[in-house]
Amino acid sequence: MTATAWSLSEDKVYYGGVNSFLDKLSEDYAIFTVDPPWSKVNLNRKPKQIFVIQETDRDVLDEFASRVKDIKYFVGLGGGRAVDSAKYVSWRNPGSKFISIPSIIGADAYMTPVAAVRTEGIVNYLGPKFADEIVIDTALIRTAPPRLNRAGVGDIYSAKISLMDWRYARDKDGDEYDPQVAKEAEEVLATLKASTKEIHNVTDQGIRSMVKMHVKLNSLQWPYIAKGRTWPQEGIEHVFFYSLEKVTGKTYAHGEVLGTGCVMGAFIHGADVREVMNELDSFGLQYRPNDYGISFSDFEKAIKNMMAVTEAMKSYYPVLRDRFPNESDIKEMWRFLA
């Protein structure tokens, strides 16, 4: 991926209704969506083309990209699959504009400039395609179960593990490390802790707070993406998520599985696992495997497959190389989580 300057700021976030925003578009738009929310949305200004997304397989999205005609705006309305699909198709159509309208903030896909597209089950981040505008309709977002919106914590709290991974890479491999970037990421984590009540209750303030934190962390991470790194926002907890979906062939609430991964990451780093769990509990995050229906066998297979995922994704986490969990470790982590 070529180096491109970060270009998404909070002034590109529109806080208001979906209809009021789409009504003001000057040209035709295509919408990429999922159900829900599609069947519950009644738009005043109808899209020229509608794509209901089942999966973010690259072959499928390439076929969609070949079918769009005379479209200026590509709108992603829904969760991560819908938004990433619109983002990818817009990226494939130079000169178009991409509008991100999340119906849930359970992950940060709605504001990242890369689309998570799968090829043979492995996620590849393609782009960049920055959103020209992000529409945050808090009433729409609250139509999703509170549990799933609280899951947005996962893509913020993940910085805690990513910072551990980064410092380990610095100490063991001499990897480039920026104390100022790390400090700013720590400040985001402090803001997250201060926002616990609002996030738990999914208030307007809690939603806005999560949006701001997602923007900030991704802006900090962006320069490192071009270098093949994910500091300071993603760490080995994300590897666990991708590995779990790969070995089970199922999809899960992104942020909830990241919570599991954060517990695993704390364990691998020798950090205070109970402290991590108490903090995740305070947000109302449902991160225990029983919460989203995976067995010990699924958990074990996902961990054992993590090195294969890092190799396939060309990601870099020395702590996995040096401290990869053994059978006893995996059982101990499960005891914490169960």
The pLDDT tens digits of the residues spanning 191-234 come to: 999 999 999 999 999 999 999 999 999 999 999 998 999 999 99
Q: How far apart are CA 98 and CA 113, in angstroms?
A: 10
- What's the pLDDT at 154? 98
Average predicted confidence (pLDDT) for the chain: 96
Q: SS3 for 115?
A: strand
Cβ(40)–Cβ(104) below 8 Å: no
The yes-or-no verdict on residue 119 having pLDDT over 90 is: no
Residue linked to tokens 């992104």: 254
* pLDDT tens digits for range 147-161: 999 999 999 999 999
Cβ(225)–Cβ(123) below 8 Å: no
Mean pLDDT of the 49-60 span: 95
Q: How far apart are CA 86 and CA 115, in angstroms?
A: 9
- What's the pLDDT at 107? 94
Name the residue type at position 234. E
Rg of the chain over CA atoms, in angstroms?
Answer: 19
User: Could you give the residue ranges of the DSSP H alpha helices within the chain?
Assistant: 18-22, 58-67, 80-92, 138-141, 146-150, 154-173, 179-194, 196-200, 204-225, 236-248, 254-269, 273-283, 289-292, 296-304, 306-313, 318-323, 327-337
Q: How far apart are CA 144 and CA 79, in angstroms?
A: 10
Q: What percent of the chain has pLDDT over 70?
A: 99
Which pair of structure tokens corresponds to residue 83? 């938004």
Walk across the sheet containing 97-102 and list its strands. 13-15, 133-136, 97-102, 73-78, 29-33, 49-52
Q: How far apart are CA 53 and CA 232, in angstroms?
A: 31
Cβ-based neighbour number of residue 228 at 10 Å: 10
Q: What percent of the chain has pLDDT over 90?
A: 93
- What's the pLDDT at 2? 52
- What's the pLDDT at 123? 82
Name the band, by pLDDT with cuts 50, 70 and 90, for residue 62: very high
Cβ-based neighbour number of residue 45 at 10 Å: 12
Cβ(267)–Cβ(161) below 8 Å: no
The yes-or-no verdict on residue 1 having pLDDT over 90 is: no
Name the band, by pLDDT with cuts 50, 70 and 90, for residue 85: very high
Q: How far apart are CA 251 and CA 229, in angstroms?
A: 25
* pLDDT tens digits for range 102-115: 999 999 999 999 99
Mean pLDDT of the 53-71 span: 94
Q: How far apart are CA 266 and CA 84, in angstroms?
A: 30
Mean pLDDT of the 238-249 span: 96
Cβ(75)–Cβ(29) below 8 Å: yes
128: cis peptide before it, omega within 30°?
yes
Which pair of structure tokens corresponds to residue 36? 């829900």
Rounded to a whole number, what is the distance in angstroms from the first to the last CA of the chain?
40
Longest dimension (CA), the chain: 60
Mean pLDDT of the 48-61 span: 95
Q: Which domains, ranges and CATH numbers included, belong to the chain?
A: 10-141 (3.40.50.1970), 146-337 (1.20.1090.10)
**Which letter, b or e, does each residue of 115-149 get, where b requires 16 or more Cβ atoms within 10 Å of its Cβ?**
bbbbeeeebebbbbbbbbbbbbbbebbbebeebbb
